[in-house]
């Protein structure tokens, strides 16, 4: 028993020592120490083409970083910025007036100088004084006179101050010289939170032209984009994080970003120095995207589009040219090409993404959908579809006719109407669907519901609705008003509403595959990274998605497909696709010419959809060239011919 008693006395004595004699000291030690988690960015995932070539990679750079301590004060940050500013050269182009004011007002001596200029400042609260100091300096910018070196220090101070506790930012992300590395490294022990680290920027091994499709990434200076800053902050990003700000980089930001490294940091509050740093999580490099695009073919498509377009003489009002090459059975995009032309200067720039956000009045390429709508509604049938191509004369409006028949009356079938691109035939189909019996010179008394009838069918093919492609910024096109009933006739042959080239590709694919509107996609797989840095295992694969099915009979599809085949291989001297007749495997196509205006100048849009091989389609090509001169021939056909041949050389031959 006496042993237990002795142990109890010892325990009571120890507790008395800890809690009574030294309790305050230990409480102070606990409050002065801090254990927190510091986060560090990791390398961004890369983007590969369908053959495994790197389209978008990462270039490593030596960088100067700052990690803000949990108790760093403005004075401590100011001190570090002034030391670091002796050794670094930085651009100060983004240094603002407020940045200069914040830097200048850190020392108490500067605050007193400014307060001396403010009447009645002695009776103000500290916060009121601070506001008045800022207001005074904003109104008297000449009061602050910074040397070029001080401006660099002010820039560094602004970057450091904007960093949240225990997060790392880049003070100088690229272009750090060996001299700067040496000098900063020599004085690291004088600068709290400063380190020599590594940063990454995007590079483009297959050429930078692909960046107009893959998108761009912000840097630590530009930080989070203003239009999504709150959303990204709620997801755990910091204001100075690098994020995707356009196209694939933006759409797949969470995939490409990876997971930040986490380090548990124990520090002393008195000295604000790190006592212990333990890596809790190494971080995970961003996952990689593997695209459906073949980089060789993509570059060839862009090259063909540019060379054919530049060689094309009649484009004084043209605003560009766009092309999409797509797998009609899966929705996979083989290539997207695009050119933007400044009509004032004539300068041409890459604009691949224009295929999803430029709305264009396409012309006669839509006529396959018009014919299919009439077949589905029963106003014509596969065996009874002969009408007269003739000028359409509606009371109070100019006569409208087909390009090849401005005065006669010629009996043609639905297939022949597609072959020779009959505007008259399409207008008569619209009138039949609108329950209007045409009589030359009579007033058009159709109901406005005809617009809905025509557009509902167009939408089923993908015209006038978003395609669903995995890229941000897709537009639906433009739907014209319904207050003038005669515009329904223009709609029937493609001279009213506007669509994107991606919509044309989806529409053509729906015809090629027999009625399945496929969702286009550009990312084939998401894959990890092996330890040696190579492309790692597949984490997810995009599956083909059918958005809707057009419930038409096979005999109806035969009419439309045969008509498109006759556009290229028919016997009429007026067929519009004869320049594609030499292609092998054989193709079906529909050309288009829309009458448009550049201001008051009459222009044309040349368009084309085509698929091949005709009996077992593997590829669809859709092209539009808006703003061509009215005396020009179709550049779309020239581009389509060259791109189709390139597909069999660069894509299908490799697949086989």
Q: Which residues are catalytic?
A: 364
Cβ contacts of 207 within 8 Å, gap of 6 or more: 299
The candidate with the shortest Cα–Cα distance to 412, out of 371, 445, 373, is 371
DSSP secondary structure, 28-60, as one string = HHHHHEEEEEEEE--PPPPEE-TTS-EEEEEEE
Calculate the dihedral angle through the C-alpha atoms of 559, 565, 566, 571, rounding to the nearest 10 degrees: -140
Between CA 587 and CA 616 the distance in angstroms is: 10
10 Å Cβ neighbour count for 389?
A: 22
Between CA 154 and CA 100 the distance in angstroms is: 6
The candidate with the shortest Cα–Cα distance to 332, out of 615, 476, 544, 649, is 544
CA distances from 26 to 30, 33, 270, 342 (A): 6, 11, 14, 72
DSSP state, 486?
Answer: T
CB-neighbour burial class of residue 598 (10 A; exposed 0-12, middle 13-18, buried 19+): middle
Between CA 627 and CA 611 the distance in angstroms is: 25
Beta strands in 465-600 (DSSP E): 516-518, 523-529, 535-541, 546-549, 588-598
390, HSE (Cβ side, Cα atoms, 13 Å): 15
Helix 449-461 to helix 423-433 angle, to the nearest 10 degrees? 120
Between CA 145 and CA 132 the distance in angstroms is: 19
Q: Which phi and psi (to 5°) does residue 280 adopt?
A: -90, -30
Between CA 146 and CA 152 the distance in angstroms is: 10
Q: Which phi and psi (to 5°) does residue 177 adopt?
A: -85, 160
Determine contact, residues 219/91, Cβ cutoff 8 Å. no
10 Å Cβ neighbour count for 18?
A: 12
Determine contact, residues 627/315, Cβ cutoff 8 Å. yes
Q: Which phi and psi (to 5°) does residue 228 adopt?
A: -140, 20
DSSP-based three-state secondary structure for 304: helix
Between CA 364 and CA 574 the distance in angstroms is: 14
Strands 47-48 and 288-291: parallel
Structure tokens at 375: 């077949």
């Amino acid at each position: 028993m006496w042993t237990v008693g002795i142990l109890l006395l010892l325990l009571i004595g120890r507790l008395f020592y800890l809690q009574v004699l030294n309790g305050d000291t230990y409480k102070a030690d606990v409050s002065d120490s801090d254990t927190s988690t510091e986060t560090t960015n990791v390398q961004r995932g890369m983007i590969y083409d369908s053959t495994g070539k790197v389209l978008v990679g990462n270039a490593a750079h030596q960088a100067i970083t700052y990690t803000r301590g949990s108790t760093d004060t403005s004075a401590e940050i100011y001190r570090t910025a002034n030391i670091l500013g002796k050794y670094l050269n930085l651009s100060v182009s983004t240094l603002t007036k407020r940045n200069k004011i914040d830097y200048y007002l850190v020392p108490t001596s500067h605050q007193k100088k400014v307060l001396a200029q403010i009447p009645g400042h002695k009776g103000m609260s500290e916060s009121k004084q601070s506001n008045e100091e800022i207001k005074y300096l904003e109104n008297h910018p000449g009061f602050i006179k910074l040397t070029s070196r001080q401006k660099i220090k002010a820039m560094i101070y602004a970057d450091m101050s904007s960093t949240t506790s225990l997060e790392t930012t880049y003070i100088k992300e690229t272009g750090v010289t060996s001299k700067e590395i040496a000098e900063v490294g020599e004085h690291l022990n004088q600068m709290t939170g400063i380190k020599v680290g590594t940063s990454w920027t995007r590079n483009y091994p297959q050429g930078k032209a692909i960046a107009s499709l893959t998108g761009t990434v912000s840097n630590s200076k530009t930080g989070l984009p203003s239009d999504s800053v709150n959303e990204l902050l709620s997801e755990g990003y910091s204001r100075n994080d690098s994020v995707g700000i356009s196209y694939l980089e933006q759409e797949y930001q969470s995939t490409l970003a990876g997971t930040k490294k986490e380090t548990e940091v124990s520090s002393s509050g008195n000295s604000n120095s790190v006592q212990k740093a333990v890596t809790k999580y190494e971080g995970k490099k961003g996952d990689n995207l593997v695209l459906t695009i073949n980089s060789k073919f993509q570059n060839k498509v862009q090259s063909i589009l540019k060379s054919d377009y530049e060689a094309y003489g009649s484009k004084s009002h043209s605003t560009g040219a766009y092309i999409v090459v797509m797998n009609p059975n899966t929705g996979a995009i083989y290539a997207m090409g695009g050119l933007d032309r400044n009509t004032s200067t004539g300068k041409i720039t890459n604009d691949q993404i224009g295929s999803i956000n430029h709305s264009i009045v396409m012309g006669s390429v839509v006529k396959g959908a018009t014919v299919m709508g009439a077949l589905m509604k029963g106003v014509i049938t596969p065996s009874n579809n002969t009408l007269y191509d003739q000028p359409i004369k509606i009371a109070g409006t100019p006569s409208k006719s087909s390009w090849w028949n401005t005065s006669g009356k010629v009996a043609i079938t639905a297939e022949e109407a597609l072959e020779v691109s009959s505007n008259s035939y399409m207008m008569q189909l619209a009138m039949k669907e609108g329950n209007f019996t045409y009589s030359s010179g009579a007033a058009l008394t159709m109901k406005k519901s005809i617009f809905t009838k025509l557009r509902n069918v167009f939408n089923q093919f993908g015209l006038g609705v978003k395609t669903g492609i995995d890229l941000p910024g897709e537009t639906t096109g433009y739907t014209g008003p319904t207050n003038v009933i005669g515009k329904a006739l223009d709609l029937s042959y493609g001279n009213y509403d506007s669509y994107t080239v991606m919509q044309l590709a989806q529409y053509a694919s729906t015809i090629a595959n027999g009625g399945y509107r496929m969702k286009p996609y550009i990312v084939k797989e998401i894959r990890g990274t092996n330890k040696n840095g190579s492309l790692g295992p597949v984490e997810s694969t995009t599956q083909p998605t059918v958005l809707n099915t057009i419930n038409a009979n096979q005999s109806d599809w035969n009419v439309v497909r045969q008509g498109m085949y006759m556009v290229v291989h028919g016997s009429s001297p007026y067929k519009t696709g004869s320049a594609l007749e030499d292609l092998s495997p054989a193709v079906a196509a529909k050309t288009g010419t829309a009458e448009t205006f550049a201001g008051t100048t009459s222009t044309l849009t040349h368009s084309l959809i085509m698929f091949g091989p005709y009996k077992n389609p593997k590829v669809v090509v859709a092209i539009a060239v808006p703003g061509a001169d009215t005396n020009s021939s179709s550049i779309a056909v020239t581009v389509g011919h060259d791109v189709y041949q390139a597909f069999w050389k660069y894509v299908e031959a490799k697949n086989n």
